[in-house]
């Protein structure tokens, strides 16, 4: 068949299976996060959260999904229909694509690009379009303002995100995520690259516009921001896209700063899940604890504080790497 | 420079402290009451389901004066008056539409005989709205409610049911206005 | 890799055509973004993944966002779309179009005559080699680009500066206010 041998076909089938398995695992994890976040927020606000549907309320996810599937999928008559429909697909697409280069264990992972990290940055920079186009196509003042804020916020924080990662890249000598993990066998990057870790955490939070950087969807000012006009499964895609973003940033922190699957005794996958799960919970804790900054505060914090720290970090790391070589 | 460093330190430490304090809430007691299994404490004067109470003697307190119906801001009470052979007033029907009722308690305040009272019970959900309309038989309870020992006719100066004028508690003999003697 | 290259190239050309002919400005920008993404795929197919990633990050992900940002602020509506469409009448573009096609033909013939021996094989060039090249033979160009960017930065800082009256104006105004009160 097509001049391929049996071994090659088996290889292709295995890769396809692995890809689909990772895709499903990631999307299911993101869907479960809806429940995890609500339970954790409950814990930190001295209440229980959803605990009625199924054991510990875990079937709340299924209930929410069923509800959202059966909601009316309404497109406002004044909206730009094509763009309105495309917008939520973009955020799902870019975030899921970014998972392609994340190495989960020594063997599990879709692809090892030699520009893995750049690929993730590229995908996250394309993710801006989802929000900005949703805001524009809704033809709604709140949505447009939300889209505007997102554009400025995400473009700015992408800069610091990229710069903070340069230190990691310098230490590993490669953009390949797998090489970056393997370079941390002696010492996790969190120790030599602590400033970069802090910047990446903050910028990552802003990049997926999670609280405290959820200005694009600040309820008090913008009703629901860019997704004000969205309903049904289109809103659901934004919703799940946000959780996918949390999972992605948590995986990236794990891979880049906490040695990915590296760890004693337990198998690699368990270590990866534990580390990533910890950061998912941390993002929820951030949402529970912190207040939303004003828009100008967000911008000046980024450009006046994070940018200089990131640049100094890159310079020092570069100097040390050259001196050690 | 020192000032900026101070500001930066203050900002960072306050954010970290907030996160820490929020995390410590993990170990606090939950404030939620798991309602159907665990009943909440309702104070005795909680304004819930409305009842009609009885005298300590067991007779109805309501005298069908319609003051509750007048006081009701949403007009959910309807009373029809009747009399027994001794001249005592009774409500023939006493109907409260609980789908209109806002549980404000004005009826209770307006009632001169303490007949209508609000009780600490809120579990009144129905699937059919018609079932929210309570008739007298649904409202009337066999107790005295929040006013034990109070009996309107025993303290009121009205001649009714074998009790003549001047026979009520703490009531003086009626004055004969046709005589000039003290 | 050749299939990827030609597919992406056709997509890029088609999308760019739509950029010109699309009456709605935001839709035109979306086609432009698609075109840039297709160019990124072309780079990748040619064995330059680094350039492909930068194309997406810088052009599609940052510069085009600013374009969309500005166009969104301009408040285009059905009326402007209609006007744009009226400007696309064939009698306006037929002449330049024909002349452009002639030039394209000339370029095609000229390029077809050259036998460069280059072919598409997709051998990747890694980031280290690019770095060595940029700060080796091409260091002057990099520095010149840096100069241009620095100049742009200075201009932006100047334009974005808060407007404050000069000191002598301020003192005069204060004196006047003092006299008034």
pLDDT tens per residue across span A267-279: 878 888 888 889 9
For β-strands B133-134 and B89-97, DSSP reports them as antiparallel
Distance from CA of A106 to the nearest CA of B (A): 34
- A115, A136, A152 member nearest C72 (Cβ): A136
Q: Which residues of A fall within a CB distance of 8 Å from C30?
A: 83, 133
Instruction: Please give the torsion angle defined by the CA atoms of residues A7, A13, A19 and A24, in that order, rounded to the nearest 10 degrees.
Output: -150
Distance from CA of C151 to the nearest CA of A (A): 19
Q: Which residues of A fall within a CB distance of 8 Å from C54?
A: 118
Tokens of B85: 């052979």
Q: Which residues of B fall within a CB distance of 8 Å from A288?
A: 22
Domains of chain A, by residue range, sit at: 74-324
Minimum Cα–Cα distance from A287: chain B residue: B19
Q: Is the model's pLDDT at C137 over the cut of 90?
A: no
A83/C27 touch (CB, cutoff 8 Å), yes or no: yes
A289/B29 touch (CB, cutoff 8 Å), yes or no: no
Provide DSSP, A187-229.
S-TTTTTHHHHHHHHHHHHHHTT-TTS-GGG-HHHHTTGGGTT
- A135, A155, A175 member nearest C62 (Cβ): A155
A118/C50 touch (CB, cutoff 8 Å), yes or no: yes
A44/B26 touch (CB, cutoff 8 Å), yes or no: yes
Q: Is the model's pLDDT at C151 over the cut of 90?
A: yes
C33/A113 touch (CB, cutoff 8 Å), yes or no: no
Q: Is B19 exposed, middle or buried (0-12, 13-18, 19+ CB in 10 A)?
A: middle
pLDDT of residue C117: 62
CA distance B68 to C27: 67
Tokens 């008559």 belong to A77
For β-strands B133-134 and B116-118, DSSP reports them as unpaired
B31/A289 touch (CB, cutoff 8 Å), yes or no: no
pLDDT tier, A130 (very low <50, low <70, confident <90, very high otherwise): confident
User: What average pLDDT does range A74-99 have in this prediction?
Assistant: 85
Residue A266 CA to chain centroid, in angstroms?
26
User: What average pLDDT does range A94-98 have in this prediction?
Assistant: 87
Q: Is the model's pLDDT at C165 over the cut of 80?
A: no
CA distance B39 to C90: 78
Q: Which residues of C fall within a CB distance of 8 Å from A118?
A: 49-50, 53-54, 57
C56 in contact with A, Cβ within 8 Å: yes
Provide DSSP, B77-137.
EEEEEEE-TTS-EEEEEEEEETTT-----HHHHH-TTS-EEE-S------SSGGGGEE-HH
Q: Best mutation site among A47, A212, A283, A289 for testing chain B: the one with the most B CBs within 10 Å?
A: A289
CA distance A42 to A33: 14
CA distance A159 to A177: 19
- CB-CB contact of A210 with A248 (8 Å): no
pLDDT tens per residue across span A190-243: 878 888 888 898 888 888 888 788 877 777 777 777 888 888 888 888 888 888
Q: Which residues of A fall within a CB distance of 8 Å from C22?
A: none
Distance from CA of B48 to the nearest CA of A (A): 26
A151/C57 touch (CB, cutoff 8 Å), yes or no: no
Q: Of the candidates A71, A234, A72, A245, which has an alpha carbon nearest to the alpha carbon of residue A143?
A: A234
B31/A286 touch (CB, cutoff 8 Å), yes or no: no
Q: Is the model's pLDDT at A84 over the cut of 50?
A: yes
A114/C60 touch (CB, cutoff 8 Å), yes or no: no
B38 in contact with A, Cβ within 8 Å: no
Report A:283-302 residues touching B (Cβ under 8 A): 285-286, 288-290
Q: Is the model's pLDDT at B161 over the cut of 50?
A: yes
CA distance C113 to A297: 60
Q: Which residues of C fall within a CB distance of 8 Å from A135?
A: 72
Tokens of A85: 């429909």
Q: Is the model's pLDDT at B3 over the cut of 60?
A: yes
> How many contacts, defined by CB atoms under 8 Å, are there between A and B?
33
A abuts C (3+ Cβ pairs < 8 Å): yes
- A122, A133, A151 member nearest C57 (Cβ): A122
Q: Which residues of A fall within a CB distance of 8 Å from B16?
A: none
**More confident call, A54 vs A276:** A276
pLDDT tens per residue across span B44-90: 889 989 999 988 888 888 888 899 999 999 999 999 999 888 778 88
Domains, chain C: 2-124 (1.20.120.1200), 135-181 (no CATH)
B28 in contact with A, Cβ within 8 Å: yes
φ/ψ of B82, rounded to 5, equals: -145, 170
pLDDT of residue A221: 77
User: Minimum mean pLDDT among B98-112, B114-128, C8-22, C125-139: which range?
Assistant: C125-139
Q: Is C82 exposed, middle or buried (0-12, 13-18, 19+ CB in 10 A)?
A: exposed
pLDDT of residue B74: 92
B15 in contact with A, Cβ within 8 Å: yes
Q: Is the model's pLDDT at B160 over the cut of 60?
A: yes
CA distance B53 to A214: 56
Domains, chain B: 50-153 (3.30.70.3270)
Binding-site residues of B sit at: 62, 65, 68, 72, 101, 104, 107, 111
| Mean pLDDT, chain A, whole residue set | 84
**More confident call, A110 vs A289:** A289
- B15, B23, B30 member nearest A48 (Cβ): B30
Distance from CA of A135 to the nearest CA of C (A): 9
Q: Is the model's pLDDT at B10 over the cut of 90?
A: no
pLDDT tier, B39 (very low <50, low <70, confident <90, very high otherwise): confident
- CB-CB contact of B124 with B97 (8 Å): no
pLDDT of residue C116: 66
Q: Best mutation site among C69, C71, C125, C132 for testing chain A: the one with the most A CBs within 10 Å?
A: C69
- CB-CB contact of C42 with C62 (8 Å): no
What is the percentage of chain A residues whose pLDDT exceeds 70?
99
- C27, C53, C65 member nearest A118 (Cβ): C53
A122/C61 touch (CB, cutoff 8 Å), yes or no: yes
CA distance A105 to C99: 58
pLDDT tier, C166 (very low <50, low <70, confident <90, very high otherwise): low
A contact chains, 3+ CB pairs < 8 A: B, C
C49/A132 touch (CB, cutoff 8 Å), yes or no: no
Binding-site residues of B for [4Fe-4S] cluster sit at: 62, 65, 68, 72, 101, 104, 107, 111
Q: Best mutation site among C127, C153, C156, C162 for testing chain A: the one with the most A CBs within 10 Å?
A: C127
Q: Is the model's pLDDT at A1 over the cut of 60?
A: no
Structure letter (DSSP) for residue C137 = T
């Amino acid at each position: 068949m097509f001049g391929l041998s049996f071994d090659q076909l088996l290889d292709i089938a295995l890769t396809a299976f692995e890809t689909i398995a990772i895709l499903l695992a990631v999307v299911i994890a993101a869907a479960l996060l809806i429940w995890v976040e609500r339970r954790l927020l409950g814990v930190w606000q001295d209440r229980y959260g959803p605990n009625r549907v199924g054991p510990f309320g875990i079937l709340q996810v299924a209930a929410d999904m069923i509800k959202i599937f059966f909601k009316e999928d309404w497109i406002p008559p004044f909206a730009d229909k094509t763009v309105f429909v495309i917008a939520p697909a973009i955020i799902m697409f870019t975030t899921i694509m970014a998972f392609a280069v994340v190495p989960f264990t020594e063997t599990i992972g879709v692809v090892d690009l030699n520009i893995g990290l750049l690929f993730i940055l590229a995908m996250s920079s394309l993710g801006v379009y989802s929000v900005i186009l949703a805001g524009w196509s809704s033809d709604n003042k709140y949505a447009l303002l939300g889209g505007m804020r997102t554009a400025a916020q995400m473009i700015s924080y992408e800069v610091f995100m990229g710069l903070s990662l340069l230190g990691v890249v310098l230490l590993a000598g490669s953009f390949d995520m797998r090489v970056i993990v393997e370079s941390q066998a002696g010492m996790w990057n969190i120790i030599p690259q602590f400033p970069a870790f802090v910047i990446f955490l903050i910028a990552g939070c802003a990049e997926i516009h999670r609280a405290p950087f959820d200005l694009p969807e600040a309820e008090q000012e913008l009703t629901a921001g860019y997704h004000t006009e969205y309903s049904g499964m289109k809103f659901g895609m934004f919703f799940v896209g946000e959780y996918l973003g949390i999972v992605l940033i948590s995986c990236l922190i794990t891979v880049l700063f906490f040695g990915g699957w590296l760890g004693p005794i337990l198998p690699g996958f368990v270590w990866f899940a534990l580390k990533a799960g910890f950061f998912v919970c941390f993002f929820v804790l951030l949402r529970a604890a912190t207040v939303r900054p004003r828009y100008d505060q967000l911008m000046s914090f980024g450009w006046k504080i994070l940018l200089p720290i990131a640049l100094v970090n890159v310079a020092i790391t570069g100097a040390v790497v050259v001196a050690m070589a | 420079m020192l000032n900026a460093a101070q500001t930066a330190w203050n900002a960072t430490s306050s954010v970290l402290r907030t996160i820490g304090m929020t995390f410590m809430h993990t170990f606090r007691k939950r404030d939620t009451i798991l309602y159907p299994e665990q009943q909440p404490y309702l104070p005795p004067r909680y304004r819930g389901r409305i009842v009609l109470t009885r005298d300590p003697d067991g007779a109805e307190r309501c005298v069908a004066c319609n003051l509750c119906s007048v006081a009701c801001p949403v007009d959910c009470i309807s009373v029809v008056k009747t009399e027994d052979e001794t001249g005592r007033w009774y409500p023939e029907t006493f109907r409260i539409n609980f789908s209109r009722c806002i549980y404000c308690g004005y009826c209770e305040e307006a009632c001169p005989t303490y007949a209508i009272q609000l009780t600490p019970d809120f579990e009144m959900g129905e699937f059919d709205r018609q079932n929210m309309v309570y008739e007298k038989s649904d409202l009337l309870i066999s107790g005295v409610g929040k006013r034990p020992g109070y009996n309107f006719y025993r303290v009121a100066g009205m001649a009714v049911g074998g009790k003549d004028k001047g026979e009520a508690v703490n009531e003086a003999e009626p004055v004969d206005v046709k005589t000039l003697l003290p | 890799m050749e299939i990827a290259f030609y597919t992406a190239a056709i997509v890029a050309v088609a999308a760019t055509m739509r950029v010109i002919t699309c009456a709605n400005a935001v839709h035109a920008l979306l086609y432009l973004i698609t075109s840039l993404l297709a160019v990124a795929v072309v780079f990748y197919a040619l064995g330059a993944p680094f350039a492909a990633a930068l194309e997406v990050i810088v052009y599609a992900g940052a510069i085009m966002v600013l374009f969309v940002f500005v166009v969104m602020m301009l408040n285009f509506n059905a009326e402007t779309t209609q006007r744009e469409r009226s400007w696309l009448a064939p009698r306006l573009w037929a002449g330049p179009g024909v002349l452009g096609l002639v030039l394209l033909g000339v370029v095609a013939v000229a390029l077809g005559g050259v036998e460069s021996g280059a072919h598409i094989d997709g051998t990747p060039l890694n980031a280290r080699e690019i770095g060595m090249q940029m700060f080796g033979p091409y260091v002057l160009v990099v520095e010149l680009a840096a100069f241009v960017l620095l100049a742009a930065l200075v201009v932006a800082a100047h334009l974005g500066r808060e407007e404050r009256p000069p000191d002598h104006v301020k003192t005069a105004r204060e004196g006047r206010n003092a006299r008034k009160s």
